[in-house]
Structure 1
């Protein structure tokens, strides 16, 4: 537990002290770092000094005691870097963490050296549309096709209501909801965090309720891509239901020092579905080796 800006953040730090540092930013929102560190902690720490952090109020960090914004989280990450004594570090953001990684890298270009994005939702209208598209076959089986089509006709900006309605529809899939997030060969994958106590899960739910109500959550971050100066790697699962084709095209068109890698057989959790190849590729990128 590390004291940071009036709260305590839980971190899982692994790897050689002289290895390049990499901060992992989890998704959810409110998901925590437990699953990623289970699948990648020992793998990535063979070559990197990996720091997994449970964001403010999430999982094993202290519970929230007030409002939370994305700017608060960015400030937390910078304060954590200073507390741990790193002059600079690379960052890796999965899913919602990819939004935070983009904000962090653009806000603090002097302390963030390299950026890895894994299936990020930089634009919530595009990301939730892609999600509903992926869920269509299962929603049709449930008799929810018309509701899905209605929600997909929305042409306005991202709003909390839009988020709530689209996410709520996919949640009606129950246990089958996970099927839209995994590649065909990964169906049945169990995330270790499922076994954490309910009190821990409730912290993430509280975080999500708070953060999705903030204006910044609905803001499209696509304009920030052209301000990204660090080497950046975008990882996309071939069956991922979050990152849209439009977001990928903008990354490839606007990030001058960007690398795109598609893991064709994986879904949203590439780090868990193809852990060995993922670790090899990410570690090589972070240490500055040519990746292919």
Structure 2
């Protein structure tokens, strides 16, 4: 289904399952929700009402805008909540989606039941620095100290060389064969590159959002992967939620692909404990 925003953007939404509502916020930035809904998402639908949302300018949502500010993306989430007549819900973020989930919980706490954060970055600068460090080690090159505007240009240089050698996605997967599962689902994905370009060039998205975690009073489940070099396997240790529960899985950046059973069970147990 499509939900229209007050600035005439069509947001693609799928609602499946039964139970407490949970809005899923995908990563990327600039990806979509289909790869999650067709894998571990289906394992959660007997326990939660899963709401899969493609962010504006991403996947099956419309992209006829250049307004991708954090305030606007948070308003989109609340538009979905209102249109679906939800009083309170969980926010589930993956990767970049964690920035949206945590900010929503901070600014819209009255509508937030709790947070489920899977392999999220809450400090994109720290995560890109980790990728540069790990990529330099893989390429066996000297790691340079980078500052300010040099950060992203250095990252893109490392990424380009890793892609050229067909080893970039080893940063995301414990077992690279698991990438074929997502590749099959993503065959229909039509990228809208402006969204990603905007996010990765705007200073507001490079703030250290780990500082917000200590202000959030809602329960939070933090799922991380032992082999997640996309954001850093220890990135979650910088979070300071008042009611945070850590769960480390034997996976890379996509536990819903690599360890779907354990991933889903951790979420189900968390929700049962908090209800």
What TM-score, normalized by structure 1, do the two folds share? 0.86
Distance 2:274 2:111 in 1: 20
Aligned residues: 270
Distance 2:202 2:3 in 1: 26
Distance 1:281 1:67 in 2: 36
Distance 1:45 1:164 in 2: 41
C-alpha displacement of 1:240: 0.4
Distance 2:246 2:228 in 1: 14
Distance 2:207 2:170 in 1: 28
Closer, same or farther: CA 171–36 of 1 in aligned 2, 3 Å: farther
**Is it true that 1:163 corresponds to 2:152 in the alignment?**
yes
Distance 2:5 2:185 in 1: 24
C-alpha displacement of 1:171: 3.3
**Is it true that 1:269 corresponds to 2:254 in the alignment?**
yes
Correspondence for 2:53: 53
Closer, same or farther: CA 239–93 of 1 in aligned 2, 3 Å: same
**Is it true that 1:172 corresponds to 2:158 in the alignment?**
no
Correspondence for 2:197: 209
Aligned CA-pair RMSD: 2.0
Distance 1:165 1:59 in 2: 28
**Is it true that 1:195 corresponds to 2:195 in the alignment?**
no
Distance 1:129 1:277 in 2: 29
Q: Deviations over 1:159-203 (max 9, x none)?
A: 5x5234314422332232111211147555431343125xx12x1
Correspondence for 1:15: 17
2:222/2:247 contact within 8 Å kept: yes
When structure 1 is superposed on structure 2, of 279-288 and 87-96 the one drifting more is 279-288
Distance 1:282 1:171 in 2: 35
- For structure 2, the residue ranges without an aligned partner over 5 or more in a row are none
Distance 1:281 1:11 in 2: 25
What TM-score, normalized by structure 2, do the two folds share? 0.91
1:239 to 224, 227, 230: 227
**Is it true that 1:256 corresponds to 2:247 in the alignment?**
no
2:181/2:257 contact within 8 Å kept: no
1:128/1:167 contact within 8 Å kept: no
Correspondence for 1:284: 269
When structure 1 is superposed on structure 2, of 49-58 and 66-75 the one drifting more is 66-75
- For structure 1, the residue ranges without an aligned partner over 5 or more in a row are none
2:171/2:230 contact within 8 Å kept: no
Query: Which secondary structure does the structure 2 equivalent of 1:110 belong to?
Result: helix
When structure 1 is superposed on structure 2, of 3-12 and 49-58 the one drifting more is 3-12
C-alpha displacement of 1:93: 0.5
Distance 1:213 1:48 in 2: 35
